[in-house]
């Protein structure tokens, strides 16, 4: 296929002065432009396909690495839970278990009633919203909690490399 860019590269000096002289020449140039458009469309499709294949390849590779890492971390966590220690320092890093407490609060209306009952400060805007920080501190100090409140203690595994 003889494209317009190949033809024009042969005549670079005449490029600025070259115009179509009649309908036949214009039609021929238009055909070349159409061929180049088709070529561009094909190249874009090819580029998109290659990008997708490459992305899928790397996504699979990353998933395999993450699976291996999860398995090894699970073994390390099992080792640490089997010992009576909370932290073990090793030459390649350290592993540790720390206690994490998750607070599960009931709905805001219950918390507002609780805050008002015990004189706890709460945020007042167009909508009254209880201060969960104040409620948490109050529960820690007094042990009294609103209806529907739960405290869940969990051990979380961490590692440093």
From first to last of the 161 residues of the chain, give the pLDDT tens digit: 444 455 555 444 555 556 778 888 888 888 999 999 999 999 999 999 999 999 999 999 999 999 999 999 999 999 999 998 989 999 999 999 988 888 888 988 898 899 888 988 877 666 778 888 999 889 889 988 888 888 888 887 776 76
Which two three-digit tokens encode residue 75? Answer: 């073994």
Which two three-digit tokens encode residue 14? Answer: 């005449």
**pLDDT (0 to 100) of residue 39:** 96
**pLDDT (0 to 100) of residue 1:** 45
Q: How far apart are CA 4 and CA 18, in angstroms?
A: 12
**pLDDT (0 to 100) of residue 2:** 44
Give the count of beta carbons closer than 10 Å to the beta carbon of residue 80: 20
Q: How far apart are CA 146 and CA 161, in angstroms?
A: 42
**pLDDT (0 to 100) of residue 155:** 80
Max CA separation in the chain (angstroms): 96
What stretches of 73-149 adopt beta strand conformation (E)?
87-90, 93-104, 122-124, 128-130
Q: Map residue 160 onto helix, strand or coil.
A: strand
């Amino acid at each position: 296929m003889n494209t317009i860019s190949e033809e024009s590269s042969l005549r670079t000096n005449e490029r600025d002065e070259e115009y179509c002289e009649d309908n036949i020449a214009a039609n021929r140039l238009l055909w070349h432009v159409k061929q180049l458009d088709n070529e561009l469309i094909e190249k874009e499709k090819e580029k998109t396909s290659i990008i997708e294949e490459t992305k899928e390849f790397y996504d699979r590779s990353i998933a395999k690495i993450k699976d291996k890492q999860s398995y090894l971390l699970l073994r390390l966590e099992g080792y640490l839970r089997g010992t009576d220690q909370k932290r073990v320092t090793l030459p390649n890093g350290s592993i540790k278990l720390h206690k994490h407490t998750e607070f599960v609060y009931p709905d805001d209306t219950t918390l507002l009633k609780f805050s008002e009952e015990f004189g706890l400060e709460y945020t007042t805007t167009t909508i009254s919203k209880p201060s969960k920080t104040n409620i948490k501190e109050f529960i820690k100090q007094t042990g009294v909690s609103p209806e529907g409140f739960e405290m869940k203690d969990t051990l979380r595994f961490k590692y440093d490399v």
